[in-house]
Structure formats: C-alpha cells, structure tokens
C-alpha cells in the first residue's frame, strides 16, 4: 500500500496537487489530506503536479520501490521557489500515525489503519433499505463503479476512463459504507457513464446510478469542462453531485 499525505501549511496552502502513478491519475490531494493507493510490489514512478497541472516544469517525479506485503508513506511538501512559486517535494517516513492528523480523501480498506484514525462522523451504510429499494437487510450493498466509455474519438483522454471511477469511489467513501464490487455481474448497484467532446475545447461527462435488481435508475448527473487543468476539478464536481443525489435518496422516507 502506498500512502500520500499533505499537512496543513502556509506555503502553497490554496494550491491543489494532482498525482499520477506510472502515468495513471490517482487523484487530487488537498491540504491536511491523504489517500492510499493499492500498488503491487516493484518499482513505480510517482508524479505530482501543482496548480498548473499541464506544465511539466510544475511537476516533480519520484521513483518508489514498493516492498511485497509492506507499505510506503510519502509526505508531500510544498516549498517556495523564488522564481516559480510553490513547488512539490517529497519526504519518506515510516510513521503511519502521522496520518491520524489528516483527513482521508480516498478509498481505503486497511483495517489496522482505520482503527488508528479517529472518525469525524458516522458513515451511512448504503443498503437496499437505505436506498428505498425494499427489503430490510441492513448490510452494505455491493457497488460496481465501471470504467467510463471514452467517446471523444481522441487518444488524449483515455486516462479519464479509469480515473473517474476511482474519483467517484474516493468521494463516496467519505460519507458512505459499501462494498466496491469488481464487475457489473453480481453487483447490487452499478455506476457507469461516458464522456465526449461537445466542442473543440470542451468535454461533457455523464454518469448514472442504476439499481441492478430492478433496473431502476437512481440518479443521473453531468458536468461540462474545458479541455485543460479544470478537467480534474470536473471529475471531483461530478463525484460530489452524485454523492449529493445519494444523500437525497437516503433522506427520503
């Protein structure tokens, strides 16, 4: 397991940092936040970028040797460069307790880590009853979050297909308890979507939440984004809107 975390600091405080592992987006890390990434043993390349996400000079890379069955903790630090402003640096630590002061911004399954971290609030269990789909079972549902269909007819946006499900999963896990299911078959709820260019410089991302047992569509959402660094915020916005819709369903009598 690879853990990334950022402490609260004045330097770069308002700046978002986006991270890529082996060329694949893993999400945006805010101040005072962390997220875990499931990584196989071996050598990997971590790339972190500050607010100018598309400018290579604003990014810093780090090679990581991941041990089998172990974990690596990397602290992300913003430092002031007199010529270019805040830049990312990395510091490795073995003290997992440092994460206890951070807010989890991601999807994590490590039971020992969860026991260490204080719960800021109780999470809602997404059950059939909670989603008003009948039945009295209180256990968490199996939710499949599928790769989004790339309809852009371009090879520039393929990374979004797998990044969007992970972004949705990270956002949902802050509020809800459920079991992420690997495939559509056998899942109780399926989240899927697509994205396409609607203009030369804009993309539309659409998503739906479907209750598999009945085929009922529980929620749909869409966001539009310019084809630039704002697309990272668009994935977060879509995730936030889907979570808001789920909260509306759960609150209904």
Q: Tell me the domains of the chain and their CATH numbers.
A: 2-116 (2.60.34), 124-251 (3.40.50.10070)
CA 206 to chain CA centroid, Å, is 17
Closest CA to 125 of 181, 190, 177, 188: 177
Which stretches of 76-158 are DSSP H helices? 111-116
The Cα 108–Cα 39 span in angstroms is: 12
pLDDT tens per residue, the chain (253 residues)?
788 888 765 555 556 677 888 877 676 777 777 777 777 888 999 988 775 444 445 688 999 998 887 778 898 888 766 555 557 889 888 776 666 556 554 433 334 444 444 454 457 889 998 898 876 667 789 999 999 999 998 888 888 898 898 888 878 877 888 988 989 999 999 999 999 999 888 999 999 999 998 999 999 999 999 887 678 778 888 988 998 899 888 877 6
Q: Yes or no: say if 1 and 39 are a contact pair by the CB < 8 Å rule.
A: yes
Strand pairing category for 85-93 and 72-81:
antiparallel
* Burial of residue 146 (number of CB atoms within 10 Å: 0-12, 13-18, 19+): middle
């Amino acid at each position: 397991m690879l853990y990334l975390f950022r402490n609260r600091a004045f330097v770069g405080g308002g700046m978002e940092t986006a991270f890529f592992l082996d060329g694949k987006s893993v999400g945006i890390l805010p101040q005072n936040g962390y997220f875990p990434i499931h990584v196989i043993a071996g050598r990997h390349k971590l790339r972190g970028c500050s607010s100018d996400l598309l400018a290579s000079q604003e990014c810093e890379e780090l090679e990581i040797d991941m041990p089998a069955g172990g974990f690596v903790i990397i602290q992300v630090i913003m430092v002031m460069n007199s010529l270019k402003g805040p830049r990312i640096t990395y510091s490795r630590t073995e003290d997992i307790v440092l994460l206890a002061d951070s807010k989890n911004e991601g999807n994590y399954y490590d039971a020992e880590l969860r026991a260490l971290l204080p719960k800021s609030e109780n999470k809602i269990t997404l059950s059939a009853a909670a989603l008003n789909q009948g039945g009295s079972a209180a256990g968490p549902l199996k939710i499949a979050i599928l790769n989004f269909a790339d309809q852009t007819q371009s090879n520039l946006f393929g990374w979004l297909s797998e990044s969007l499900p992970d972004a949705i999963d990270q956002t949902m896990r802050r509020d809800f308890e459920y079991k992420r299911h690997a495939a559509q078959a056998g899942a109780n709820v399926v989240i899927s979507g697509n994205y396409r260019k609607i203009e030369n410089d804009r993309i539309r991302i659409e998503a739906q939440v479907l209750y598999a047992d009945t085929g009922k569509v529980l929620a749909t959402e869409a966001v539009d984004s310019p084809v630039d660094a704002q697309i990272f915020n668009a994935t977060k916005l879509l995730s936030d809107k889907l979570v808001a819709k789920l909260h509306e369903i759960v609150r209904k009598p």
